[in-house]
Chain A
């Protein structure tokens, strides 16, 4: 039986980790190589690197960062941010990513998903969906360009279309919850999880182990979190032990 994956996410810009990472015992808390190695030691099942600046500024993801991280990392690595073409995806895979996340560019040109799935296999095509509750409260719509633009596209329809086009996984971020520390949007998570057969990674809003556990109960196959780990209050191991004690299948 598959275990539930716990996935720390690092936001990078110009080859450095950004978004306030506070750690003891690290020479340099902004080094992607050191942080990824630390999370791996703590028992992370997988890692995500997201180049946060890439989409708005049209900046290319830092291939060099991926190459450096890959050398030592013995667990899967997903890289996203600013991936616009199968060529971009290829460059990331060649640098050492195992999966590539597509977001804004896939909404603009959905063929991007099928291109990546056809050339490199569905297992490496991650469709990242940023979703926000509609203003009238009825369902969720897809937002793009790091949340700055509402598209009107229904998030559940988009997840289904992604599956048809060959995506291998959905990385679902609640834009309403992201950074709020109020827990994942469980309603959104449950709705998307029931609508596709693909694995769904929950993202956005986690502040404690209970939040991650709730996401699993709501149907998440994997839970992604950033600040909960970066703040140094909980280790990946703490979170996994917490869930294991509550009967969730974990790799410990």
Chain B
């Protein structure tokens, strides 16, 4: 049985891995740039690599930003991955002066601390709260230079550590934000995608 899921195309994001990952998890994937499709869809995934500003510019130009805000306000199944999770927030140190979707009223900052590599590239230990619906503890693959380091109110958060604690993933109702790449995180990631698809 296939579960329909729509991926939002944000400019030049590489969609092959996320498409393959969702298909392995049982998803039937459509890619769209059309906000009307995003308004209608049962499940929407917002992926993203590259810079915060480029991502927001793409969402604002097409009216996609409002379509995403609306569906998240209605708690309809939506997931933001990597930059896609960051775009849910208010702003980012990466692109000063650029407003994010503002669903989480917190800023994204660059990794700080003397003894760490930036970007964070590799597998990090994620600790999830016991009562989370989608999130579990385990190892996940990250590729990022910026991160959310405060816990947003009303979201259940899983944390990892890279020069200090940061939000590895967060969930609120049917909305999931993953700083890590579930599509590249082996069994752990595959199971995360399956749980989200089956909400």
Contacts and interface: CB of A to CB of B under 8 A. Distances in A.
Interface string A68-87: 00111111110000000000
A74 B123 contact: no
Contacts of A168: 119, 121, 143
B137 to A, nearest CB: 13
Contacts of A75: 141, 184-186
Nearest to A193: B117
Given A3-B123, A74-B183, A74-B186, A120 B162 contact: no
Interface string A7-42: 000000000000000000000000000000000100
Contacts of A70: 16-17, 20
A199 B181 CA distance: 18
B126 to A, nearest CB: 11
A2 B49 contact: no
B143 A123 contact: yes
Nearest to B189: A74
A251 B16 contact: no
Contacts, number: 105
A119 interface: yes
Interface in B100-145: 117-125, 139, 141-145
B107 to A, nearest CB: 20
Interface string A168-180: 1100000000000
A88 interface: no
Contact of A123 (B16, B121, B125, B186): B121
B14 A94 contact: yes
Interface string B43-76: 0000001110000000000000000000000000
Interface of A: 1-5, 40, 45-46, 67, 70-77, 90, 93-98, 119-124, 168-169, 197-199, 221-222, 251
Interface of B: 12, 14, 16-17, 20-21, 24, 49-51, 117-125, 139, 141-145, 161-162, 181, 183-187, 189-190
16 contacts: A2-B122, A2-B123, A74-B184, A77-B17, A93-B14, A94-B14, A96-B17, A120-B14, A120-B49, A122-B119, A123-B119, A124-B49, A168-B143, A197-B118, A198-B119, A251-B123
Given A3-B124, A3-B139, A251-B123, 17 more contacts: A1-B162, A2-B117, A4-B122, A45-B141, A46-B122, A70-B20, A74-B184, A74-B187, A74-B189, A74-B190, A76-B181, A93-B16, A98-B14, A120-B14, A121-B50, A121-B51, A169-B121
